[in-house]
Structure 1
Amino acid sequence: MLQRILVWDVPTRVFHWSLALSFAGAYVTAESERYRDIHLALGYVLLGLLVFRLVWGLVGTAYARFSAFTFTPSQVKAYLLGLLSKQPPHYVGHNPAGGVAIFALLALGLLISVSGLGLEWEIGAEDFMEELHEIAANLMLLVVLAHIAGVLISSVLHRENLVRAMFTGYKQSATAAGITRAYVGLGVVLLVAIVGFLGWYLV
C-alpha cells in the first residue's frame, strides 16, 4: 500500500528553486551592461547556494546527502536503458540520471562562479576567464534542459508528479521510509539570507 512520505526537506527545496531562478536570471542578464549589477548579485547568490549544498550534501537529511545519489556507471546505464524501454526502476530519492545531473550542475556552477569572480576581480587572463565563463554557462543550460526533460519523462513513466514533490517535499512509496524532520527553520534562514543579500546588494 502506498504511503505519503516526506522525502525533500525545506532547505533542499529552497536551494533547488533558488538555484534555478538565480541561474536563469544570471543567464538572461549576462549580455546586458544595463543589468550588470543584477547579473553579479545573482552570481554571488549562485555561489552561496552551491557552498550551502556542498555542506548539506554531507550533513543533510537522508535523501539530500550525496551518498544517497552516488551511483556506479553500470547503475546509470541500467537506468537509462530502462527509460528507453519505458520500464525504469523507481527510486524514492534521486534516480541515477538525476544524480549525474546534480553533480554536473554543481561542478558547472562552481566553474561559472570561479570564472565569474576571476573576471570581476581581474584574476587570470581576461579572455580565458570570459570564454570559460560562457562555455560553462552554456553547458549548464544544456544540463538543466536535459534534467527538465528527464523529470518530465520520469514523471510520466512512474506516474508521479516530481515537480510537485519538489514543492511539497512529499512522494508516495510502499516500502521506503521518509525523513522525520523537515528543517523548516534552516530553510527560512536560507531564504531570508538570499532575499536579504539581494536587497542589500541591489539598493
Structure 2
Amino acid sequence: MTTIKKTVHVWSPLIRIGHWTLVISFFTAYFTEDDFMNLHAWAGYIVGIYLLTRILWGFVGGNYVRFRGFIYSPAKIIGYLKNLIARNPQHYIGHNPAGGAMVIALLVSLVGTTLTGMKLYAVEENKGPFAITAQQAQLQMRSISLIAEAKAEDDDEDEESKALNIDQKVNKQAEEFWEELHELFANLTLLLVFLHVGGVIASSIIDKEKLVKAMLTGEKDVDDTYQ
C-alpha cells in the first residue's frame, strides 16, 4: 500500500514561542523561590500571561490548538496508550490523546501554581493582583482598634495588643496555607513536566515522530495514516 507523504504546518509561532517561554519561565520561577523574589515574581507573571493567552487560543486558535481538537474520552486515551505499548499507535497530526490529556493537566496545574503564588505574594508582601489597597489596610486597622477600644471598657488588659497578636496569627496561618498549596501545585507541575518529557521521548522512539523538531519548526512530516 502506497502512502502519500507531505509536510504540514501544525504549530504557529505563537504556540512555539509560548511553549519554550513557558519552559524557561517555569524553571526560572521554580529555582528562584526564596533568594530572588523579584525574579521569581516576574517569571510567575510571564507564566500567567502565557496561560491566559493559551487558554484563549484554545477557543479561537487553529484546528490543532483548539481544545475541541485534542480533548478525548478516557476510553480513547487508554486505547491509544495500549496501542503505543504494543508499538502500533494511531498517528495524529496534532496532539495525540495522551498528549492532549497532558496539555490539559499541565494547564490546570500551572493555573493552580500561578494563582496560589499570587495569593501568597499578596499575603507575604502585600504585592501583586491580590494585594489589598492602602485604604483597605487602614479599614482593617481601624476595625481592630474599634474592637480593642470596645473590649477595653470591660477589661483592663491591653486588648489592642491582643487584637493585633490575633491578627498576626491569622496572617501567619494564611501565609503557611498558601505557601503549602503553592508548593504542592509547583511540585505537581514539575512531576507532570517529567511525565510529559518521558511521553515525548517514548512517542518519538515508538511512533517515530520528531516532536521536538515540530515544536521548533512548527512542521510535521505526515502521511495518509495520520488523522
Residue 76 of structure 2 contacts residue 97 of structure 2 at CA under 8 Å; is this kept in 1?
yes
Residue 51 of structure 2 contacts residue 107 of structure 2 at CA under 8 Å; is this kept in 1?
yes
Distance apart, 1:176 and its partner CA: 8.3
RMSD: 1.7
List aligned pairs for 1:117-156, cutoff 5 A. 117-122=118-123, 125-156=174-205
- Distance change >3 Å, CA 9–CA 176, structure 1 → 2: farther
Q: Secondary structure at the match of 1:29?
A: coil
Distance apart, 1:174 and its partner CA: 2.0
Residue 161 (str. 1) matches residue 210 (str. 2): yes
Specify the alignment match of 2:43 in structure 1.
Answer: 42
Residue 92 of structure 1 contacts residue 176 of structure 1 at CA under 8 Å; is this kept in 2?
no
Separation (CA, whole Å) in 2 of partners of 1:176 and 1:78 = 17
Deviates more, 1:139-148 or 1:79-88: 79-88
The structure showing larger relative contact order (alpha-carbon pairs under 8 Å, at least 6 residues apart) is: 1
* Structure 1 runs not aligned, ≥5 long: 178-203
Q: Match for 2:14 among 1, 11, 14?
A: 11
Residue 119 of structure 2 contacts residue 178 of structure 2 at CA under 8 Å; is this kept in 1?
yes
Which entry has the higher C-alpha Rg, 1 or 2?
2
Aligned pair count? Answer: 176
Separation (CA, whole Å) in 1 of partners of 2:224 and 2:90 = 14
Separation (CA, whole Å) in 1 of partners of 2:208 and 2:225 = 17
Specify the alignment match of 2:113 in structure 1.
Answer: 112
Q: Match for 1:26 among 26, 29, 33?
A: 29
Q: What TM-score, normalized by structure 1, do the two folds share?
A: 0.83
What code does the residue aligned with 1:63 have? Answer: Y
Separation (CA, whole Å) in 1 of partners of 2:209 and 2:70 = 19
Q: Residues 166-187 of structure 1: CA distance to partner in whole angstroms, max 9, x if unpaired?
A: 000000122389xxxxxxxxxx
Separation (CA, whole Å) in 1 of partners of 2:55 and 2:93 = 21
* Structure 2 runs not aligned, ≥5 long: 124-129, 131-170
Distance apart, 1:87 and its partner CA: 1.6
Specify the alignment match of 1:102 in structure 2.
Answer: 103
What code does the residue aligned with 1:21 have? Answer: I
Separation (CA, whole Å) in 1 of partners of 2:92 and 2:62 = 16
